[in-house]
Amino acid sequence: MSLSGKTAIITGSNSGIGLGIAREMAKVGADVVLNSFSDRDEDHALAEEIGKEFGVTARYIKADMSKGDECRALVEQAGKCDILINNAGIQHVAPIDQFPVASWDAIIAINLSSAFHTTAAALPMMRAAGWGRVINIASAHGLTASPFKSAYVSAKHGIVGMTKVVALETAQEPITANAICPGYVLTPLVEAQIPDTMKEYDMSREDVIKNVLLERQPSKEFATVEQLGGVAEFLCSAAADQITGTTISVDGGWTAL
């Protein structure tokens, strides 16, 4: 399939899952807008590299996803949004009675409220264009829970709920809204945690991956950013025109337990 002529905005996309999805979108011809809260030369260079590699228009726009006005400004500055991929997210782990209020507020703002603001700004553009896709990167934690992740689980459950609302509000339009729910994905951030975890548990790399990081992932294999990008690409295809308001798990069987 080709997404030539479409513009995809991917929040939180200068690394990890967001960057992987942006590359997959560009690979099938979509112009892409990368985003994060920094404004470094390497951020803009990354967009330039993607544009050259895939022959598309690629831009980087700084916007702090914890601020609603900047979320909306991202979409407005992009000028066009056929495909909105809400991916930005952060994490903090602590018992609920010890959970820092500032961390709760930041996680809810970045992981949940940002998607509200970007979607509100993007829908008029999609309606004007006569086509649109809202793809929210939720999590296995949007469907289940783990201890010590109260803010993250709450935000991801919220994203799943908001996805359903957007789908219902656009059900009679050529716009769909769906959530992808990854389990553990091998990103540079996860990769960096492995050596310290090996030392902490006195385990081999293989044992840390299978018995610690992937304890709840029955396949005992990480999902990849390319797989997530492929699912996003499918959701943009004609085959997915009647898929809306649902979740697609990419979690190696985690939510089958």
Q: Does residue 41 belong to any structural domain of this protein?
A: yes
Query: Which of 60, 152, 184, 201 is an active site residue?
Result: 152
CA pair distance 144, 28, nearest whole angstrom: 33
Enclosing domain of residue 195:
186-221
Phi, psi of 84 (to 5 degrees): -110, 120
pLDDT the model gives residue 118: 99
Q: Does residue 96 belong to any structural domain of this protein?
A: yes
pLDDT along the chain (257 residues), means of 10: 97 97 98 98 98 98 98 98 98 96 98 98 98 98 97 98 99 98 92 92 95 95 97 98 98 97
pLDDT the model gives residue 31: 98
Q: Does residue 256 belong to any structural domain of this protein?
A: no
Q: How many domains does the chain have?
A: 2
Residue with structure tokens 């500032």?
Answer: 102
Give, to the nearest 10 degrees, the angle between helix 150-169 and helix 114-129: 20
CA pair distance 74, 34, nearest whole angstrom: 10
**Measuring CA to CA, how many Å separate 33 from each of 39, 80, 105, 201?**
14, 10, 26, 40
Question: Domain check: are 28 and 124 in the same one?
Answer: yes
pLDDT the model gives residue 155: 98
Catalytic-residue membership of 152: yes
Question: Domain check: are 215 and 233 in the same one?
Answer: no
Question: Domain check: are 79 and 108 in the same one?
Answer: yes
Q: What is the pTM of this model?
A: 0.97
- The three-class DSSP label of residue 202 is coil
What DSSP designation does 254 have? G
